[in-house]
Amino acid sequence: MTYHSGFRPGLFAGQTIFVAGGGGGLGRCIAHELASLGARLVLAGRTQGKLERTRDEIREDGGTVLGCYALELRDEAAVVDMMTQATHAYGPFHGLVNAAGGQFPSALADLSLNGWNAVLHNNLTSYFLVAREMYRQSMCDTGGSIVNIGADYEGGMAGMGHNGAARAGLSNFTATAASEWGRDGVRVNCVIPGFIATTGLDRYPEEDWDALRSIDRKIPLGRHGTAAEISAMVVFLLSEMATYVTGADFRVDGGIHNGAASFVFSPGEPRNQQRFNGFHRDEPPKLLGPD
Q: Report the amino acid identity of residue 264.
A: V
| Cα separation, 107 vs 100, whole angstroms | 23
**Strand 64-70 relative to strand 95-98, pairing:** unpaired
Establish whether 127 is a catalytic residue: no
Quickly list DSSP for 114-125.
Answer: HHHHHHHIIIII
> Which H, E and C letters describe 178-221, residue by residue?
HHHHHHHCEEEEEEEECCECCHHHHHCCHHHHHHHHHHHHHCCC
C-alpha of 144 from chain center: 17
Q: Report the amino acid identity of residue 7.
A: F
DSSP 8-class letter at 239:
S
- The residue length of the chain stands at 291
C-alpha closest to that of 123 among 88, 96, 158, 149: 149
Q: If DSSP codes are grouped into helix, strand and coil, which group holds residue 42?
A: strand
Exactly one of 127, 153, 204, 244 is catalytic; name it: 153
**Strand 186-193 relative to strand 16-20, pairing:** unpaired
Active site residues: 153
